[in-house]
Amino acid sequence: MAKNLMIQGTMSGVGKSILTAGILRVLRQDGLRVAPFKSQNMALNSFVTKDKREIGRAQALQAAAAGLEPTSDMNPILLKPMGDTTSQVIVNGLPIGNMKARDYFRMKKSLIPDILSAYERLARQSDVIVIEGAGSPVEINLRENDIVNMGLAEALDAPVLLVGDIDPGGVFAQLLGTYNLLSEREKERVKGLVINKFRGDVTLLEPGLDMFKPYCSVPFAGIVPFVGLDLDEEDSVSERLRINKKSSENADVRILVVRLPFISNYTDFTILEGIFGVSLSYIDEPDALDEADLIILPGTKNTISDMKWLYEKGIAGKIQELAKKDVPIIGICGGFQMLGRSIQDPDNTEAGGSEKGLGLIQVDTVFEATKNLRQIKTQTGTLTGIFKPLSDLEIEGYEIHMGVSYGEEEMPVRSEESVLGTYIHGIFDSPEFTRRLLKIIYEKKGLDREVPEIEGAFVHQEKELNKLADVLRQNLDFELIYKIINS
């Protein structure tokens, strides 16, 4: 049976997901068979496995760090928020329904057998499992029936590294406050402390480690510097989703993504951020779209609600206006549904009701109870309008949606005039598709230059994971970490 190590944090956003991925990559480089595990994740940024199951995107990244194909065993419970108090509950990769937070809290302990079975399947194939907690282990009002932090650590007999984020300040208070709110039994599980996202001269911080010892005897396992790596994060805390009112004036191409209230799978656009001369920004006001060379409507977990929001904000009218001026517009998944004529939810699959779409692509969407989950490798087909140069290209990605769109012709990618829509997440990760898309924009703007080289998403991710492993090797005490794992 595998040994294990659990990464818990003083709060959300301390960097647990990325640290977990980096530790997995280091252990894998050292020759161990490793796997990630997060019993319960809450995220709209998800991934579809080869066997058509849905997991958190962070666990897909961690699987890549471990050199594994992602499976639902790595994230047996996924909660996808649909509002302040309601989430779609996904167990073992498949949706079991929409639940109010109070109802889920009452029933979640019944999911422990699913959690333990998933972990045991991973453990039979691994030397070490690195487990990621969620939020903080000392939300004392939620401690009863905990299945993701100390409750899970106890169930799996896992030692814990406790991580604090120094970036907002108060890291020693974070660590000590968290530690002191643990029960004596829980404190015994904490074997090391980590300070994450440090900027500046580390020698100025080091005296504080000694000054901290009288308050807490747990040793420090390292101080990790802030590093600008291009890796997928949890959607709720990502810096990428900060609203940018104005994109870079020096960029050749300005891509604006509408920051929908229930935006999902923003990682569709990660590849665009790394292209020289391309600026990608998130906006939530109509006037900001006037400077766009390309507008993207992303995926959403609540399509009808976000469609209403587009009309209320005046963004819908602005997009329709710019479409008439041949500004390129692309909709992905829920964004594709919004580009159509209508969106209907007769069975209350999301929130019920119906809403008029933007009317820019001739399809109508009806939500159905069955969720469409699949990885896909196909061709774009014959496209029209300004997107004609994208015809018959090989593309791959995954689909994850509740609605079915009906129109005159069913195609993986639809285009009309200056508008393109698709259900395929990850379409921009196909380098030739994105290269030709940028060429269309270059020619439209009269830019006489070559499109920059676009690195494949997998190659880029591998480089970033190896960079992360190098940083952790230099700044974490792996002698201590191995001692913790082997204890």
Q: Note if 460 is an active site residue.
A: no
What's the pLDDT score for residue 218? 98
The larger pLDDT score, comparing residue 409 to residue 353, is at: 353
Instruction: Take residue 363 and report the two structure tokens written for it.
Output: 């399809």
Rounded to two decimals, the pTM is 0.91
Listed by start position, the domains of the chain span 3-232, 243-456
Residue pLDDT, tens place only, 363-372: 999 998 888 9
Check whether 391 has a pLDDT greater than 90: yes
Residue 398 pairs in a beta bridge with: 375, 425
Which residue from 256, 342, 257 is spatially nearest to 307, judged by alpha carbons? 342
pLDDT band at 457 (very low <50, low <70, confident <90, very high): confident
Q: How confident is the model at residue 85 (pLDDT cuts 50, 70, 90)?
A: confident
- Mean pLDDT, rounded, for 97-121: 94
Which residues are CB-neighbours of 228 under 8 A, at least 6 positions away?
Answer: none
Secondary structure letter of residue 409 according to DSSP: S
User: What whole-number distance in Å separates Cα of residue 387 and Cα of residue 226?
Assistant: 40
Annotated catalytic, 216?
no
Residue 102: enclosing H or E segment and its boundaries? helix 101-107
- The DSSP line for 307-348 is HHHHHHHTHHHHHHHHHHTT--EEEETHHHHHHSSEEEETT-
Indicate the DSSP class of residue 39: S
Q: Name every residue whose Cβ is closer than 8 Å to that of residue 77 and which is 6 or more positions away in sequence.
A: 39, 40, 41, 89, 90, 91, 108, 111, 114, 115, 147
Cα separation, 417 vs 401, whole angstroms: 25
Please tell me the distance from the alpha carbon of residue 77 to that of residue 57, in angstroms, as a whole number: 13
**Reported confidence tier of residue 274, pLDDT bands at 50, 70, 90:** confident
Mean pLDDT, residues 210-214 taken together: 96
Characterize 214-232 residue by residue with b for buried, 16 or more Cβ atoms within 10 angstroms of its Cβ, and e for exposed.
eebebebbbbbeebeeebb
Confidence of residue 240 (pLDDT cuts 50, 70, 90): low
- Tokens 């007999």 belong to residue: 157
Judged against a pLDDT cut of 80, whether residue 244 lies above it is answered with no
Q: Which superfamily, per CATH, for 3-232?
A: P-loop containing nucleotide triphosphate hydrolases (3.40.50.300)
Q: What is the pLDDT of residues 126-138, one digit of tens each?
A: 999 999 999 999 9
Q: According to the model, what pLDDT value does residue 245 have?
A: 47
For residues 51-58, give the mean pLDDT: 96
Q: What is the DSSP string of 337-377?
A: HHHSSEEEETT-SSS-EEEE---SSSEEEEEEEEEEEEEEE
Percentage of residues in the chain having pLDDT higher than 90: 81
Mean pLDDT for the stretch of residues 230-249: 61
Contact 7, 228 (CB under 8 A): no
- Look at residues 301, 399, 378 and name the one whose alpha carbon lies nearest to residue 52: 399
Q: What is the dihedral of CA 226, 230, 233, 239, to 10 degrees?
A: 70
In this predicted structure, which of 233-242, 265-274, 466-475 has the lowest mean pLDDT? 233-242
Residue 2 has, within 13 A of its CA and on its CB side, a CA count of: 24
**pLDDT at position 263 over 90:** yes
Tokens 């994109």, residue located: 247
Domain 3-232 identical in fold to domain 243-456: yes
Residue 234, pLDDT above cutoff 80: no
What CATH code would you report for 243-456?
3.40.50.880
Q: Is the pLDDT of residue 426 over 50?
A: yes
Q: Count CA atoms within 13 Å of residue 433 on its CB side.
A: 24
Average pLDDT of the chain to the nearest whole number: 93
Q: Which residues contact 85 (CB under 8 A, 6 or more apart)?
A: 100, 101, 102
pLDDT on residue 231: 85
Beta-bridged to residue 396, according to DSSP, are 377
pLDDT at 273 over 70: yes
pLDDT-based confidence at residue 96 (cuts at 50, 70, 90):
very high
Q: Which residues contact 180 (CB under 8 A, 6 or more apart)?
A: none
Helix (H, G, I), strand (E, B) or coil at 463: helix
Model pLDDT for residues 157-183, shown as the tens digit of each residue: 999 999 999 999 999 999 999 999 999
